[in-house]
Amino acid sequence: MQSKSLLIAIAAFAVTTTGVQAYGGVEKLARAGINKEQIQAFEEARELRESGDLKSARDRLVKAGIDEETLKKVREAKKMVHSAIQEAVENKDYETFKVAIADSPLSDIVTTKSDFDLFVEAHELKMEGEWIEAEEIFSELGINRHGKPRNHFGMRGHVLSDLDDVQREAFQVARQSNDRETMHAILKEAGVELHHRHREQKPIKWIE
């Protein structure tokens, strides 16, 4: 039987995503082993979460049988999409890039070869540490990115070392959405002391 905190972790991960398109779309998730009912559950849970009905969102995910293995498959699908995009950008291969971003949010942003060239330029500037210049290009393309990559949890990054992969993934998403109940439940499940972790903090966003 799944622990309460794992179910919370699953819900935190799933219902705070931007939808299945963020992971390459339905086709890529299906190839990763996510069945149709589970894909539908992710979408319905996201809509329920956006309407404020978190309990129903979690119940929908549980009913669909979404578990630790499902999360691993979702993460793998996301990694495959990101790797394909990264390779296409590094090779400046627009045709391969178009295939990689199909059904993803980027497909509505980078729609021409000129857009792609700007995207590549911004990526190269970022890699060279020219963050301001890169951000200007990303903004021109309509891509909202939020500053320099950093430890997602400021001075408290050591917390992550006490969590397993599933707990870490869920904690990161819960931290981003400032879901303190979920954060505490995950830390408790991992046996991490909660004292000195109750100071209110703003949600943190990071570059993907």
- Which of the two residues, 179 and 194, has the higher pLDDT score? 179
- Which of the two residues, 146 and 136, has the higher pLDDT score? 136
Distance CA 150, CA 157 (A): 10
pLDDT at 99 over 50: yes
* Percent of the chain with pLDDT strictly greater than 70: 64
Q: Which of 9-13, 41-45, 88-92 has the lowest mean pLDDT?
A: 9-13
Q: What single letter denotes the amino acid at residue 61?
A: L
Spatial CA neighbour of 167 closest among 140, 188, 153: 188
Domain contains 171: yes
Domain contains 172: yes
Q: Which of 12-16, 21-25, 81-85 has the lowest mean pLDDT?
A: 12-16
Domain contains 131: no
Q: Which residues constitute the domain of residue 54?
A: 1-108+146-208
Domain contains 127: no
180's tokens: 């303190």
- Which of the two residues, 19 and 33, has the higher pLDDT score? 33
* Cα 23 from chain centre: 8
Distance CA 34, CA 27 (A): 10
pLDDT at 200 over 50: no
Domain contains 123: no
Total domain count, the chain: 1
Distance CA 79, CA 82 (A): 5
Q: Which of 2-6, 22-26, 65-69, 191-195 has the lowest mean pLDDT?
A: 2-6
Q: What is the mean pLDDT of residues 116-136?
A: 92
CB neighbour list of residue 93: distance below 8 Å, 6 or more residues apart: 87
pLDDT confidence of 33, banded at 50, 70, 90?
confident
Give 132's DSSP letter: H
Domain contains 140: no
Distance CA 200, CA 180 (A): 9
Domain contains 205: yes
Domain contains 130: no
